[in-house]
Structure 1
Amino acid sequence: MRILTNARTLIDLYKDYRSMDDEDRADFYKSKCDYYQNYVGISLVAGVLASITYIVSDYLLNGSFLPTLIPRLSALLALAIFFIITHFFKKREIVVFMDFLLAHCIVLATIWAIYHLDDRIHASEGFIIMNVMFMTVGFVARPRETLLSSVVFILEILISNTFNHYSNLDIILALQLPLMVAVFVSHALLMLFYLDHYRTRQELELAMITDPLTQVYNRHLLEKIITKNALKDIAGPVAIAMLDIDHFKQVNDEHGHYTGDLTLLYIGQKLAKGTHEDDYVIRYGGEEFVIILKNCDVNNACARMEQFRRDIESATDTPVPFTISVGVSRYTGDFSKSIQNVDHALYKAKNTGRNKVVVV
């Protein structure tokens, strides 16, 4: 049954959601906001413009559009503020707040216009339509943010009733309360279904930066961790190592490319297990690997790479016996220059006997 399958999927997604830590959850909602914000922004602009056209119905009710013209046009001021704030501030919380604020400004402009109408019996229809905006803004929000906005909307209706005196307030509230629940449930479900999309995208992004043979990173990772020729999120000393399998062509020629692939897989997994969680192990090309060692000075990096070299030399579980040459250099803040330095160190190691670690 499709319903049962969907129910199981939702349960699994909910368990996944509950298992997130605060950082992962914040990244999830940031991704959701980025994905839907263009749609929400355009929809809100359309909502502002549509609310102004209600001066036509105001004219039909009042025989004049002048009393409600300023209240209706006031939404344009809110729209201008929305554009300014969201242009300069991209933080998710600010963007979502401005989305909801613009939606509520449309509500307040409508309430202001209703005050100037002789016949207010149609306010219930207008308030029902307002739920479409909150449904739309909820695409970028957390469900609890949508729920809070709906509660504020109910309060706006109750407060405005003190001066607008809706003759059918009981009907308005009777309609709004189930709509509030429906909007909340709808966005709770949307959140879970977007989580499925989010996980799929994470898997694709990881596949793009992962070398399929060795299961360490590939060179595409550098596009994510480097900006303006500098490593991102660096808080301490960093060292860079580059290693090369000695006589790797001979391994392929004498033992076959399958054994060569096993050798690459072995060293990739050995590097991944022998480095810290925040280090980067990258298959740089062929049999060359680059290791970015965070919070590690050159002396410590040299010692770690020397121990690794010795472990490889004495290992008994390798596909075939082999050795490695390693170059090590300090990260200078200029990534291109640092890579040149470490490449020079590796070149020196290979040309002075191999199976050694050289520091530049």
Structure 2
Amino acid sequence: MSYRNSSLQQDILLKHYVDEPEGARPGFNWGEALDEGEPLGSRGAVRLSTPQGERDLAFTEVADAIGKALTSLILVQSETDKSEAKVFTAENREFVARITREVASHLEKVYEASPPGRLSLQALNLQIEKALVENNAYDVARSFVFHNASNLTGERSEVAEVRVIRRSTQVVPWNPDKIEVAVRKAFLSQQMDSSPAVEVAQDVTAAILATGQSFIHIEEVQDMVQEILMKQGHYKVAEAYILYRAERALMRQDEMEEATEVSGEAEGQTSMVVVTREDESTFLWDGADLVARVRFAGIDLNLCLSEEEIISELRRSIFDKITTGNLKTTVILNAKALIEKDADFACFAGRILCSYIYEEVLGWD
């Protein structure tokens, strides 16, 4: 049984799928696949250390974790049949049971030899991943990494002050575990043991500390990953990582161009918005009165924006089915926000407010 042929698109779909709420994904009782054969745990309990405390490990949990990874992979690969018959088959149940028994056998031997056995959640996940790799189920292992990325708990105190600048310009704390997860997936995509990912992540962290920078861009981090993969002799994985980055960059560029085209089309036409009156009746608002307000408010003012630019700014945050009261408030607040661009907008914003007062008291013509 082979689960292979990963791709960038599959990774993106897996991430979206894993991020869905638990109830939105189909669930199966993979633990029932262990009902036959020698009871697991018969050679002594393995103690699992979790953030919630220490407890006995139930191997049905291992089966469920493997089964979830397999389920996600199959559903992502399948565009049509997402039925239980497709996923919860006898063959797949046997696969999950076999991997679970291999994990159990290894853990029981190790922790029987050196009692009392205490196993971290991260160590358990690494053992499951190792068993999947040894059975050539690399794509299932990748899916498993997606599902369990949050369980990595490496030391972060040394780099607590380092911040990463994302492409969106958002600044987030440095997290070496994210590097380890990304590199693990790169190794698994080449059907290779992913254990070197730990050392790669450590060396990337050390390289970042050596720069003395408090802020580092995500592109610089990824450049360091490539360089360290090459230095450690992982040439095939480095090549895959480079190609993955290039393909992802092209995808982002296509998405940006598409968004720009849509935005351009939207700007090129009069935007009609459904507005709700106090009596809950609705009407189509074309912004004609807003144009009149802008022209009135801009009389004898030397503003730094064109009429079209000002109208675009004042229409920010106006959405379909907005109430008349909220429409008025939004326009006024947006006008006040323009004061930061030019001092003359203080007078402009005051006139916009006056236009609504005139409308209420005198009527607006």
TM-score of the aligned structures, taking structure 1 as reference length = 0.33
Report the structure, 1 or 2, having the larger helix content: 1
